[in-house]
Amino acid sequence: MAVSSGCGAVRSCLGVLNQAFPLHTARSVTDMEAALQLVRNVVPPLAAWKHKGQAGRIGVVGGCPEYTGAPYFAAISALKVGADLSHVFTTQDAAPVIKSYSPELIVHPVLDSPSAVQDVEKWLPRLHALVVGPGLGRDDVLLENVKGILEASKTRGIPIVIDADGLWLVAQQPALIQGYQKAVLTPNHVEFSRLAEAVLGDPLDGRDRYRSVQRLSQALGNVTVVQKGEQDVISDGGQALTCSREGSGRRCGGQGDLLSGSLGVLVHWALLAGPEKTNGSSPLLVAAFGACALTRQCARQAFQKHGRATTATDMIRELGPAFSRLFETSAGADGGVAPTGELRL
Ligand SMILES: NC(=O)C1=CN([C@@H]2O[C@H](COP(=O)(O)OP(=O)(O)OC[C@H]3O[C@@H](n4cnc5c(N)ncnc54)[C@H](OP(=O)(O)O)[C@@H]3O)[C@@H](O)[C@H]2O)[C@@H](O)CC1
Ligand SMILES: Nc1ncnc2c1ncn2[C@@H]1O[C@H](COP(=O)(O)OP(=O)(O)OP(=O)(O)O)[C@@H](O)[C@H]1O
Ligand SMILES: [Mg+2]
């Protein structure tokens, strides 16, 4: 449970980097531990004086009759990272299925209702962050409802993680998210290419992923972008950070959903903590780094136990131990393998 608030070494390291190199300079340092320390700084302590809800109330908007696993993975991951309550806003048909996976989730069968936007809007004052897109599908009616939910959430200043089919919607209508600096997009390879085409009009430049991610973020008005892959590249248009912590060779579905749900909680915590705790780095960048490192650590631990049979459910079981290992020790004990991370400005 212990979370360090001290970060002198991190402060000086990132401080020097911030001053020394102008934007876009291709300069890098191995700095995984420094970035992990920033994540530790934003994790709220567990305390007897706190009440239910204070550690986070997260909403997941997604799921449809075809995809019930994805919103479940995201919502249960949010809880296991440390949120107190996790809501799923989904379609009438998908709701009982998702409920049956877990009694821990609060499931609202509203997403295909004509009053979907108002139904979700009622809950927004009680939510700290939204994760939009896991398992949403591409039905026009659902996407139109989600558009309204996004607008209502932006008006209230709610942090939004956009993943999966939420990114499909953003690729159709980038204005939906343009300039909203409490948004984080988490595209996989295909989703990133689609966004880059739609927003930059360019095919993906695979040679310089940093530059591509940074350009996409800038074009969207400094929305934070997490490009998932063999290494995860994260940028807010200014700084860029990569997470190459060891994960696993298993590419089973659902790992991105675990990441987006975890990120919903970390985004809330990081914004609450503010830039003082992240030493001037963007809280969203730090949150994104934390979610990537955590997902990869879960993959690694699950693979050690289950090998080729590893699935997202096995990874979710590792969330508690992986979180402790990364964020509740003073040194991020790693059991031997040297992690790497780079910070580029
Ligand atoms: N259990 C559930 O309910 C789950 C539901 N999910 C939900 O499914 C929905 C669609 O999401 P998605 O990710 O399958 O769609 P999309 O990104 O269009 O990819 C489609 C195709 O692109 C390719 N491809 C993918 N990655 C690649 C890569 N790195 N590099 C190269 N190619 C790559 C690959 O096609 P291939 O080229 O192999 O034929 C892939 O099949 C969405 O709602 C999501 O949340 C998932 O969350 C999983 C768990
Ligand atoms: N080649 C890889 N090597 C190691 N880790 C990877 C690799 N590709 C993706 N990952 C990790 O897997 C996690 C999910 O990324 P992925 O690209 O699978 O997302 P996704 O396609 O959206 O997943 P989902 O099936 O949930 O939709 C990220 O944390 C990422 O770091
Ligand atoms: Mg995905």
Cβ neighbours for 127, distance < 8 A, ≥ 6 positions apart = 57, 58, 59, 87, 158
> pLDDT 10s per residue in the chain (345 long)?
222 333 333 333 333 233 323 333 333 335 788 999 999 999 999 999 999 999 999 999 999 999 999 999 999 999 999 999 999 999 999 999 999 999 999 999 999 999 999 999 999 999 999 999 999 999 999 999 999 999 999 999 999 999 999 999 999 999 999 999 999 999 999 999 999 999 999 776 777 889 999 999 999 999 999 999 999 999 999 999 999 999 999 999 999 999 999 999 999 999 999 989 999 999 999 999 999 999 999 999 999 999 999 999 999 999 999 999 999 975 444 433 333 444 443
Atom of ligand 2 nearest to the CA of 291: 29
pTM given for the model: 0.91
Kindly report the protein residue whose alpha carbon is nearest to atom 13 of ligand 1: 164
List the residue whose alpha carbon is closest to atom 36 of ligand 1. 190
- Contact call for residues 85 and 60 (beta carbons, < 8 A): no
**Residue 28 β-bridge partners:** 344
Query: How far is Cα 145 from Cα 302, in angstroms, rounded to an integer?
Result: 36
Query: Does the C-beta of 150 come closer than 6 Å to ligand 2?
Result: no
Ligand 2 centroid – CA 274 distance (Å):
28
Q: How far apart are CA 283 and CA 110, in angstroms?
A: 32
Q: Is the CB of 187 under 6 A from ligand 1?
A: no
Compute the distance from residue 229 Cα to the ligand 2 centre, in Å. 5
> For 14-49, b where at least 16 C-beta lie within 10 A, e where not — what string?
beebeeeeeeeeeebeebbebbbbbbbbbbeeeeee
- Given ligand 2 and candidates 186, 188, 244, 263, which is best to mutate, with the most ligand atoms within 8 Å of its CB? 188
3-state secondary structure the chain: CCCCCCCHHHHHHHHHHHHHCCCCCCCEEECHHHHHHHHHHHCCCCCCCCCCCCCCEEEEECCCCCCCHHHHHHHHHHHHHCCCEEEEEECCCHHHHHHHHCCCCEEEECCCCCCHHHHHHCCHHHCCEEEECCCCCCCHHHHHHHHHHHHHHHHCCCCEEECHHHHHHHHHCHHHCCCCCCEEECCCHHHHHHHHHHHHCCCCCCCCHHHHHHHHHHHCCCCEEEECCCCEEEECCCCEEEECCCCCCCCCCCHHHHHHHHHHHHHHHHHHHCCCCCCCCCHHHHHHHHHHHHHHHHHHHHHHHHHHHCCHHHHHHCHHHHHHHHHCCCCCCCCCCCCCEEEEC
252 carries a ligand binding annotation: yes
What six digits make up the tokens of 343? Answer: 């910070």
For residue 143, which of 175, 181, 116 has the smallest C-alpha distance?
A: 116
Please give the pLDDT value at position 330: 54
257 Cβ inside 6 Å of ligand 1: yes
Q: How far is the CA of 151 from the centre of ligand 2 (A)?
A: 28
**What is the pLDDT, as a whole number, of residue 259?**
99
**CA–CA separation, 215 and 238 (whole Å):** 9
Interface predicted TM-score (ipTM): 0.96
Partners of 49 in the beta sheet? none
Contact 88, 72 (CB under 8 A): yes
**Distance from the alpha carbon of residue 257 to the mean position of ligand 3, in angstroms:** 6
246: tokens are 């060891």
Any ligand 1 atom below 6 A from CB of 71: no
Q: Is 341 annotated as a binding residue?
A: no
Confirm or deny that 298 is annotated as ligand binding: no
* Cβ atoms of residues 291 and 234 within 8 Å: no
Evaluate: CB of 190 within 6 angstroms of ligand 1. Answer: yes
Q: How many Å lie between the centroid of ligand 2 and the Cα of residue 46?
A: 30
Q: Which atom of ligand 2 is nearest to the CA of 188?
A: 17
Closest residue CA from atom 23 of ligand 2: 256
Instruction: List the residue whose alpha carbon is closest to atom 30 of ligand 1.
Output: 189
* pLDDT score for 77: 99
Q: Is 228 flagged in the annotation as binding? A: yes
Rounded distance from Cα 71 to ligand 3 centre (Å)? 11
Query: Quick check: CB of 341 below 6 Å from ligand 2?
Result: no
Q: Is the CB of 254 under 6 A from ligand 1?
A: yes
